[in-house]
């Protein structure tokens, strides 16, 4: 009996160590398997892929004759899946179509994969998607991980409240205000920096954040104005207040070391703008003409 009691903790410790090692290995394997190519792990030496010549993302796109774009499926105006038809539609989708048309000559040679603010960068870096067109703000921090195209949309952070709310702008937000947002979004850091002591309740995606707001779990939902305008179209009991308090330019994200693809995408954006097609897409989704042309 004494013997058995003595062995027990030792057994436990052994088990614990085994599990911890297993956990570490599990992490490694996951990253390795997620990488479509047999090459290196995602973030290590991105130059390798490009140097391999036929292994660039652009050549992969041409070979499979299809562009795989990561887009939002839950964001009104930019990328929203119509539950009836199953089609994904929006501003970002039209931009992705234009890129597919330029690269492959046909806008239908496009596969749309759903991404969230949380999943898009890992998915891009392990090769599941060729590029991200998903309301993604260009930041210096993100530039360390991925490359960005020229700006294709100028957004700014704003506040969504229930009509009649006492909150009319950022000045009315205090540290005790219940603010909701989305995990992984730049807007969380922005507002937490501007309002001292504020803690944002963060949700998986915009639909869930909006659900929480509608259920009264929050007083304010904050993110880019364009997304908020989409929500007001979904439910007219809510309004955008206080104007924008940040500058959040959207760019198309591409894996590091893929200069040829970045150039091609930039050409598409320039052509859209010069041909007037950009204004048409803008008005179609946002409901007004873009303020300034670049």
Partner 1 sequence: MISPDILTDNWDLYLEGIRNTLSASLLALAGSFILGVIVAIMRITSFRLLNILGAVYVEFFRNIPLLLVVYIFFLGLPALGLTLNGFISGTLGLMVYTSAYIAEAVRAGIQSVPIGQTEAARSSGLTYTQTMRHVVLPQAVKIVIPPITNQFLNLVKNSSILSVVSGFDLMYFGDIVNSYTYDTVSSYAFVAVFYLILTIPLSIASNALERRLLRSG
CB 223 within 8 A of CB 157: yes
What residues contact 139, with CB distance under 8 A and at least 6 apart? Answer: 186
Q: How far is the CB of 190 from partner 1 (least distance, A)?
A: 13
Q: Output the CA torsion 72→221→168→226 (10° steps).
A: 0
Nearer to partner 1, 70 or 268 (CB): 70
Nearer to partner 1, 45 or 277 (CB): 45
3-state secondary structure 112-158: EEECCCCCHHHHHHCCCCCEECCCCECCHHHHCCEEECCCCEEECEE
Rounded Cα distance, 224 and 186, in Å:
9
Encoding tokens for residue 31? 């990253």
Q: How far is the CB of 126 from partner 1 (least distance, A)?
A: 9
Nearer to partner 1, 31 or 264 (CB): 31
Q: How far is the CB of 187 from partner 1 (least distance, A)?
A: 12
Q: How far is the CB of 233 from partner 1 (least distance, A)?
A: 21
Q: How far is the CB of 212 from partner 1 (least distance, A)?
A: 7
What residues contact 141, with CB distance under 8 A and at least 6 apart? Answer: none
Rounded Cα distance, 80 and 156, in Å:
20
Q: How far is the CB of 43 from partner 1 (least distance, A)?
A: 8
Chain residues in the site for partner 1 (CB under 8 A): 4, 8, 11-12, 15-16, 19-20, 23-24, 26-28, 30-31, 41, 117-118, 121-122, 142, 145, 180, 183-185, 189, 201-204, 208, 211-212, 215-217
Could you tell me which residues are beta bridge partners of residue 160? 221, 240
Q: How far is the CB of 230 from partner 1 (least distance, A)?
A: 20
Could you tell me which residues are beta bridge partners of residue 67? 110
Nearer to partner 1, 16 or 270 (CB): 16
236-253 b/e (C-beta count within 10 Å ≥ 16 → b): eebbbbbebbbebbbbbb
CB 278 within 8 A of CB 287: no
Nearer to partner 1, 48 or 217 (CB): 217
Nearer to partner 1, 48 or 211 (CB): 211
Nearer to partner 1, 15 or 36 (CB): 15
């Amino acid at each position: 009996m004494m013997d058995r009691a003595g062995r027990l903790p030792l057994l436990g410790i052994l088990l614990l160590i085994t599990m911890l090692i297993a956990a570490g290995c599990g992490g490694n394997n996951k990253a390795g398997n997620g990488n479509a190519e047999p090459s290196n792990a995602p973030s290590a030496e991105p130059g390798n892929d490009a140097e391999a010549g036929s292994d660039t993302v652009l050549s992969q796109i041409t070979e499979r004759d299809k562009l795989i774009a990561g887009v939002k499926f839950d964001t009104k105006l930019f990328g929203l899946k119509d539950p009836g038809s199953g089609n994904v539609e929006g501003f970002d989708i039209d931009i992705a179509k234009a890129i597919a048309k330029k690269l492959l000559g046909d806008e239908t040679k496009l596969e749309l994969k759903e991404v969230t603010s949380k999943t898009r960068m890992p998915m891009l870096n392990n090769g599941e998607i060729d590029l991200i067109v998903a309301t993604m703000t260009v930041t210096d921090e993100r530039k360390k991980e991925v490359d960005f195209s020229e700006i294709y949309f100028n957004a700014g952070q704003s506040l969504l409240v229930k009509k009649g709310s006492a909150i009319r702008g950022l000045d009315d937000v205090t540290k005790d205000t219940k603010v909701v947002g989305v995990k992984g979004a730049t807007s969380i850091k922005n507002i937490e920096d501007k309002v001292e002591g504020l803690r944002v309740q963060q949700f998986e995606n915009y639909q869930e954040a909006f659900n929480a707001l509608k259920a009264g779990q929050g007083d304010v939902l904050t993110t880019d104005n364009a997304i908020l305008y989409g929500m007001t179209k979904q439910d007219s009991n809510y309004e955008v207040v206080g104007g924008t308090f940040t500058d959040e330019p959207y760019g198309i994200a591409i894996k590091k070391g893929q200069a040829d693809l970045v150039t091609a995408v930039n050409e598409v954006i320039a052509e859209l703008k010069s041909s007037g097609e950009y204004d048409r897409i803008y008005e179609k989704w946002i409901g007004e003409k873009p303020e300034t042309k670049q």
